[in-house]
Amino acid sequence: MMNQRPLSPFLLYRFMYTMALSFAHRLTGLALSVGSLLLVYAVFALSGDSVRFEHARVFFGHWAVQAVICALAVCFFYHLSNGVRHLLWDIGWGFEKVQARRSGWFVVVSTLALSALTVWLAVRAGSLS
């Protein structure tokens, strides 16, 4: 009886980049949820006294935190771009193989371009060291 059970999907299907895009969408959503704690900390620091603000300024000035913020920017732009892709699917556009591949590449390229632009603007403004 044991040999008649269905195999797991990852054993049945060959790898496709759309699987990676779907998995990355879920991971970036999780990362953004956890990363929102940094935003909450920043808001509380801004609303507090000068000591709390100074602690937050030192914390956010650390290179590791800035690297995390850059990674969260990549996550944000990926999740945003892929979310637009899903909205287009919801209205019935992009199900054909050629359109799905093209929109997948658009998600990757727009993520890289928007992330690079954001980091460049942050460095230029002096927000990142």
Distance CA 129, CA 57 (A): 13
- The pLDDT value recorded for residue 17 is 82
State the pLDDT at residue 80: 98
The pLDDT value recorded for residue 1 is: 52
Are 100 and 21 contacting, i.e. CB atoms less than 8 angstroms apart? no
What is the DSSP code (8-state) at residue 8? P
Task: For residue range 55-96, list pLDDT tens digits in order.
Answer: 999 999 999 999 999 999 999 999 999 999 999 999 999 889
| Integer Cα distance of 107 and 89 in angstroms | 14
**What integer pLDDT is reported at residue 43 of this predicted model?**
96
Q: How far apart are CA 129 and CA 101, in angstroms?
A: 37
CA distance 9 to 53: 50
Q: Round to whole Å and give the CA distance between 129 and 127.
A: 7
Check pLDDT > 90 for residue 109. yes
Neighbours of 82 (CB within 10 A): 23
pLDDT at position 15: 75
Q: Where are the domains of the chain?
A: 23-125
According to the model, what pLDDT value does residue 14 have? 73
Give residue-wise pLDDT tens across range 6-54: 666 666 677 778 889 999 999 999 999 999 999 999 999 999 999 999 9
Give the CATH number of domain 23-125; options: 3.30.70.270, 1.25.40.80, 3.40.190.10, 1.20.1300.10: 1.20.1300.10
17 Cβ partners below 8 Å, 6+ apart?
Answer: 104
